A = this chain, B = another copy of it.
Amino acid sequence: MPLPQTEAPGRLQSELMSRGLRMTHQRRTILTVVETAKQHLDAAQILRQARRLDPGIDRVTVYRTLSLLKRHGLIDELDLMHMQGEKHFYERRPQRDHIHMACLRCGKIAEFESDLFDRLKGQIQRECRFHIVVSRLEVGGYCAECRASN
């Protein structure tokens, strides 16, 4: 009996299992949703999508799983400058940190990787003697399209 959501095992699932955590059907479903998301999802959206794969899944299980993934550093929690209320958004932790740019006019979220960002984190670690575990750089402003169409 093939489980469709195991077709793309991804890193999250194997990471969790390698840490000795139980791989339940619900966790597998939530991991699949997060891993295959095309955009940043909040808890309510993750619940909705997970219920399409497993209608019985509970909201609380989503919160507990997101919390677990966050504790293990497998996902990052974003605020996206609080443009849409106070919800949090989640994404798989990337290989290399990136910056989130939130357009205050059209709401689009763009991402950007930068050597300067990596160097800045290095500077913080050295000069402040601060060991960075997680970092989040979000900027709010106006994207090229919105600036042009003003």
Contact = CB atoms under 8 A, between A and B. Distances in A.
A124 B147 contact: no
A64 interface: no
A142 B132 CA distance: 7
A142 B126 CA distance: 12
A38 interface: no
Interface residues of A, number: 39
A77 B86 contact: no
Contacts of A81: 134, 136
Contact of A142 (B88, B112, B133, B142): B133
A127 B139 CA distance: 14
A121 B112 CA distance: 11
Interface string A131-145: 111111111111110
A104 B82 CA distance: 23
